């Protein structure tokens, strides 16, 4: 019963007028105390005079407190800004009393307004002390009552600078707060050993198992803005070894309306340890690009396609057409949009290999912008099934491209991959063929064809991150094909923002690539994920080297031989200038490739691809025999 009563009271805020009334009662009390102190704690003063002066003091105080809005603060969340407002209000009150006293003496207006200067100054100090003290006592009393019923975690904040104080303030003011901040951690030696808000500041080395156990610390919140990923990894590794959970404060630009809330403090993810700053693109032109347009996305239910859909749904499109042959995934995406109340979204089950069906969709909805994300992308599977790779990545792309030209689509954006650069596998080679076909149509028709080429996408279906997570959940080992294998990585939002930007920026014929920073060693990625899981390598989870898979290469590239780049308005986005190709000959070979059927032998299919893509050299694959024949 007591718990329910306290919980009910805790959900309500005191009226601002009640807070003002309490402040005014304190002002009246301190005014009387000021006289009492001034006269050596004796009643050797005119009490009637004091009683006559109090109404005027209260009117002046009311004006001051309303002006600084000190009465609007929630008492149980009193913080630094509230205290400053109280001090300002008290000083304004003292100034008013001094000014009024000065003029009353000068003009002999009324003895009621003649307040001795010593009284005014004593009253000022008492007001500051009593009003702040009262609110802090209420805050402490509230916390002591509610903490008995709300489970709390003892946490440390890493970073005793501005961001750390903002984090502390956000935690202190959150009504659903379950954190109890007991100290700060900082690398700055000048801060270590001192106290902030009566809380100690430790160096990282001082955070020992003994200290953690003694203070029952459960979590550390990293509040440093733009922290170096390498440094973040060292910090998390050290803290994980102590059995602590680690969370991180997001960048300032991601705070809601410029304010940090506890809900935004998240667990450290592998994305935070990529070794580069997140790529950010802000382009107002995107709003105009999709204004009142019918937009079609193939492969709409996939990792990239679905994120493109989500981003476009934020613009004022006319209609959004989601095309995919995956029934369940497309249904889930459709329900997601319905839950958000989004309209003018059509989900269509269709296969890009079915030319008549795609033409029917284009004829019905008449899209003006097409994002082609439908593709087979798994390297080992496509190495063993080259016909399927060609049928989707080449024939499917050709179908959508040709139909886009037929229906005078404004822009067609192909989602490609870095595996199309100097390919060593069937999947990459077929994506390169798709790029070439688009290049052939550069000067034909109204449609502007644009290609976006990027590396591996963190968290996408079938990518290494979900695989590692499953392996960790099973107790390991994590499987890595080669200790030196590296890949370029970006997050799904980054990849999809590039695609949208390419559509707005492209004039036709460009291949857009990202400056993705340094490639990441998959082995290091695996060890980092083990650490993020609160485990140790190799004591808890081991890593097994399995050997390169068919068609897999150790290093990926973003540019092919003979390509160079030109800059764009954004320093992270470049345009690859492709080498000249014999358009007529390439078209003939692509058309020949698309006529092959499922009865065609894999070697014959791959041989046809190699004739079209001379730089395609198989690696660790049965198709290496074709390269030897050359």
Domain of residue 405, CATH code: 3.40.50.720
Q: Are residues 140 and 157 in the same domain?
A: no
Counting residues of the chain whose pLDDT is more than 90, the rounded percentage is 32
- Which has the minimum average pLDDT: 56-65, 189-198, 408-417, 510-519? 510-519
Residue 544 lies in a domain: no
CB 484 within 8 A of CB 548: no
Q: Are residues 297 and 256 in the same domain?
A: no
| Active-site annotation, residues | 419
| 3-state DSSP assignment of residue 630 | coil
Cα 233 to Cα 531: distance, rounded to the nearest angstrom: 8
Residue 541 lies in a domain: no
Q: Are residues 298 and 407 in the same domain?
A: yes
Among candidate residues 123, 146, 169, the one where a domain is terminated: 146
Cα 8 to Cα 34: distance, rounded to the nearest angstrom: 39
Q: Are residues 363 and 498 in the same domain?
A: yes
pLDDT above 70: residue 293: yes
What pLDDT score was predicted for residue 283? Answer: 67
Q: For residue 375, give the H/E element and its range.
A: none
CA angle at 278 for the pair 272 and 279, rounded to the nearest 5°: 160
Residue 115 lies in a domain: yes
Segment 208-213 mean pLDDT: 91
* Per-residue buried b or exposed e for 329-343, using 16+ beta carbons within 10 Å of the residue's own CB: bbeebbeebeeeeee
Domain around 204: 153-268
- Which has the minimum average pLDDT: 107-121, 400-414, 493-507? 107-121
Cα 407 to Cα 398: distance, rounded to the nearest angstrom: 14
Cα 217 to Cα 220: distance, rounded to the nearest angstrom: 8
Reported as a pLDDT band with limits 50, 70 and 90, residue 599 is confident
Spell out the alpha helix ranges (H) of 368-482.
379-384, 386-389, 397-406, 426-440, 464-473
What pLDDT score was predicted for residue 321? Answer: 97
Residue 609 lies in a domain: no
Q: Are residues 333 and 407 in the same domain?
A: yes
Q: Are residues 446 and 321 in the same domain?
A: yes
Q: What is the largest CA-CA distance in the chain?
A: 116
| 3-state DSSP assignment of residue 487 | strand
What pLDDT score was predicted for residue 573? Answer: 75
Decide which of 536 and 609 is more confident. 609
Please compute, for residue 622, the number of CA atoms within 13 A of its CA located in the half-sphere on the CB side.
11
Residue 538 lies in a domain: no
Beta bridge partners of 574: 513, 567
Q: Are residues 255 and 321 in the same domain?
A: no
Beta bridge partners of 369: 295, 411
pLDDT in tens, 326-368: 999 999 999 999 998 888 999 999 999 999 999 999 999 999 9
pLDDT in tens, 135-148: 878 777 766 665 55
pLDDT above 50: residue 2: no
Decide which of 595 and 243 is more confident. 595
Cα 253 to Cα 267: distance, rounded to the nearest angstrom: 18
Q: Measure Cα distances from 521 to 419, 489, 516, 555 in Å.
A: 16, 10, 14, 10
What pLDDT score was predicted for residue 428? Answer: 94
Q: Are residues 324 and 445 in the same domain?
A: yes
Residue 276 lies in a domain: no
CA angle at 523 for the pair 424 and 543, rounded to the nearest 5°: 115
Structure tokens at 26: 């304190």
pTM, to two decimals: 0.65
CB 400 within 8 A of CB 434: no
Residue 50: CB partners within 8 Å, gap ≥ 6?
Answer: 31, 32, 35
Q: Are residues 401 and 498 in the same domain?
A: yes
pLDDT winner (highest mean) among 10-24, 67-81, 459-473, 529-543: 529-543
Other beta carbons within 10 angstroms of residue 175's beta carbon come to 12
Reported as a pLDDT band with limits 50, 70 and 90, residue 282 is low
Q: Are residues 409 and 430 in the same domain?
A: yes
What pLDDT score was predicted for residue 277? Answer: 59
Q: Are residues 158 and 112 in the same domain?
A: no
Strands 543-545 and 478-480 come out as parallel
Cα 75 to Cα 137: distance, rounded to the nearest angstrom: 10
Q: What phi-psi label fits residue 475: left (phi over 0), alpha (psi between -120 and 50 degrees) or beta?
A: left
pLDDT above 90: residue 490: no
Segment 382-406 mean pLDDT: 96
Q: How many domains does the chain have?
A: 3
């Amino acid at each position: 019963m007591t718990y329910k009563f306290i919980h009910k009271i805790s959900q309500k805020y005191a009226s601002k007028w009640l807070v003002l009334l309490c402040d005014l009662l304190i002002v009246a009390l301190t005014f009387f105390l000021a006289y009492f102190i001034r006269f050596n704690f004796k009643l050797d003063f005119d009490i009637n005079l004091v009683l006559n002066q109090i109404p005027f003091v209260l009117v002046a105080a009311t004006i001051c407190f309303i002006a600084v809005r000190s009465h609007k603060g929630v008492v149980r969340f009193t913080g630094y800004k509230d205290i400053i407002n109280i001090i300002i209000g008290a000083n304004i009150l003292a100034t008013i009393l001094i000014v009024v006293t000065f003029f009353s003496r000068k003009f002999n207006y009324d003895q009621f307004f003649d307040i001795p200067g010593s009284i005014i100054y004593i009253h000022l100090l008492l007001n500051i002390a009593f009003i702040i003290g009262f609110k802090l006592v209420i805050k402490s009393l509230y916390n002591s009552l509610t903490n008995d019923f709300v489970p709390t975690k003892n946490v440390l904040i890493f970073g005793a600078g501005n961001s750390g104080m903002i984090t502390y303030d956000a935690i202190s003011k959150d009504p659903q707060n379950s954190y109890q901040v007991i100290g700060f951690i900082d690398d700055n030696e000048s801060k270590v050993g001192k106290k902030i808000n009566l809380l100690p500041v430790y160096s990282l080395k001082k955070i020992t198992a003994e200290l953690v156990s003694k203070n029952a610390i459960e979590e550390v919140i990293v509040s440093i803005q733009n922290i170096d990923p390498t440094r973040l990894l060292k910090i998390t590794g050290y803290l994980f070894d102590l059995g602590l959970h680690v969370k991180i404060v997001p960048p300032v630009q991601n705070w809601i309306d410029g304010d940090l809330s506890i809900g935004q403090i998240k667990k450290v993810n592998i994305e935070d340890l990529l070794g580069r700053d997140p790529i950010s693109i802000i382009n107002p032109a995107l709003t105009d690009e999709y204004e009142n347009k019918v937009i079609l996305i193939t492969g709409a239910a996939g990792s990239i396609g679905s994120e493109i859909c989500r981003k476009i749904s934020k613009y004022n499109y006319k209609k959004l057409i989601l095309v995919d042959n995956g029934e369940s995934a497309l249904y889930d995406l459709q329900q997601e949009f319905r839950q958000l109340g989004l309209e003018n979204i059509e989900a269509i089950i269709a296969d890009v290999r079915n030319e008549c069906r795609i033409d029917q969709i284009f004829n019905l909805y008449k899209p003006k912008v097409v994002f082609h994300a439908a593709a087979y992308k798994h390297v080992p599977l496509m190495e063993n099934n080259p016909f399927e790779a060609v049928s989707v990545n080449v024939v499917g792309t050709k179908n959508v491209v040709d139909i886009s030209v037929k229906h005078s689509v404004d822009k067609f954006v192909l989602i490609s991959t870095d595996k199309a650069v100097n390919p060593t596998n069937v999947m990459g080679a077929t994506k390169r063929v798709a790029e070439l076909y688009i290049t052939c149509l550069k000067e034909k028709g109204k449609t502007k064809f644009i290609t976006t080429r990027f590396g591996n996408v963190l968290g996408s279906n079938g990518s290494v991150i979900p695989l590692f997570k499953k392996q960790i959940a099973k107790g390991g080992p994590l499987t890595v094909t080669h200790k030196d294998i590296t890949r370029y990585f970006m997050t799904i939002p980054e990849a999809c923002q590039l695609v949208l930007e390419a559509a707005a920026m492209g004039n036709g014929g460009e291949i857009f690539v990202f400056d993705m920073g340094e490639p990441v060693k998959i082995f290091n990625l695996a060890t980092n994920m083990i650490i993020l899981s609160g485990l140790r390598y190799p004591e808890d989870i081991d890593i097994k080297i399995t050997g390169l898979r068919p068609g897999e290469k150790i290093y990926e590239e973003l540019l092919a031989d003979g390509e160079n780049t030109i800059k764009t308005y954004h320093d992270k986005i470049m345009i690859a200038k492709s080498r000249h190709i014999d358009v007529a000959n390439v078209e003939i070979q692509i058309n020949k490739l698309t006529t092959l059927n499922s009865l065609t032998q894999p070697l014959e299919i791959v041989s046809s691809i190699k004739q079209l893509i001379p730089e395609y050299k198989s690696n660790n694959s049965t198709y290496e025999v074709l390269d030897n024949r050359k």
